[in-house]
Amino acid sequence: MGALNFGILDALDILIAAFLLYQIYRLLRGTSAIRILLGMVAIYLLYSLVQLLEMRLLSEILGSFMGAGLIILIIVFQQEIR
């Protein structure tokens, strides 16, 4: 079995992922439409940055949010859509 290659970028990736998930939790805890929209914009911007820096863990996590983004928007803003 080979040794694990755990570098500084991997540690930074994990710390950013933990911080991001905590901030998303805080954002959704007191939900209002503008805060959720700003959160989704922030997720998109972070996703773009993570793709640029080639961070695998955050890329997978944020990619999942991006994949479900349209459905999430419809659910969150269903009152405004009516």
CB of 33 closer than 8 Å to CB of 76:
yes
Which pLDDT score is estimated for 43?
79
Which pLDDT score is estimated for 34?
63
Report which of 43, 39, 40, 35 is spatially closest to residue 59, judged by C-alpha positions. 43
Residue type present at position 65 = F
pTM of the model: 0.49
What is the chain's alpha carbon radius of gyration, rounded to the nearest angstrom?
15
The average pLDDT across 61-65 equals 81
Provide the residue ranges of all domains of the chain, joining segments of one domain with +. Answer: 8-81
Q: pLDDT (tens digit, 9 = 90+) per residue, 3-55?
A: 678 888 888 888 998 998 888 777 666 666 666 767 777 878 888 888 898 88
